[in-house]
Amino acid sequence: MKHLILAISLLLAVTAAVAEQHESEPAEAPDSRSLSEAIFCADIEERAPIGGAESFVIGDRVYFWNRIAGGEEGDGITHVWFLGEYEVQSIDLSVNGSPWRTWSYKTLFPGLAGNWRVEVRSAAGRVLGSYSFHCGE
């Protein structure tokens, strides 16, 4: 019986020590970046989207434009382009302030018709937003 009481006491002491260690560890800084605007468009002029749309055809160049809030100099985001569930391209972009406008594009060559999606991810990999468009023949 003494061994059982000793084992339980030891287990409680170890559990308390582990819990205290976790409480004293600093928390990770929250990722403050967010998308304040996002749009698919046919062109970009003077850093602004032109011809917003949700449907395009083979031969079009599709721009994905977004405005990021909460960024600081040296930050980055990634645009990940998907055709269906297949990742087609991942594009790293700089964010050097808040708000910050940036964009990437994809030319829709033959064989690329279907449902597309772009995920915007923070440098830490958090998905800030996911946006879709359709490409017809």
pLDDT at site 31 = 59
Q: What is the pLDDT of residues 2-54, one digit of tens each?
A: 554 544 554 445 444 444 444 444 444 455 678 889 999 999 999 999 999 99
pLDDT at site 2 = 56
What domains lie within the chain, and their CATH numbers?
Answer: 34-136 (2.60.40.1930)
- Structure-block tokens of residue 37: 């605007």
CB 114 within 8 A of CB 131: no
Residue 11 three-state SS: helix
DSSP-assigned states of every residue in 79-123: EEEEETTEEEEEEEEEE-SSSEEEEEEEE--TT--EEEEEEEEET
Q: How many CA atoms lie within 13 A of 102 on its CB side?
A: 20
Of 28-37, 46-55, 78-87, 103-112, the poorest mean pLDDT is in 28-37
Nearest CA among 93, 97, 88 for reference residue 121:
93
Average pLDDT value for the chain: 83
The whole-model pTM stands at 0.75
pLDDT at site 30 = 52
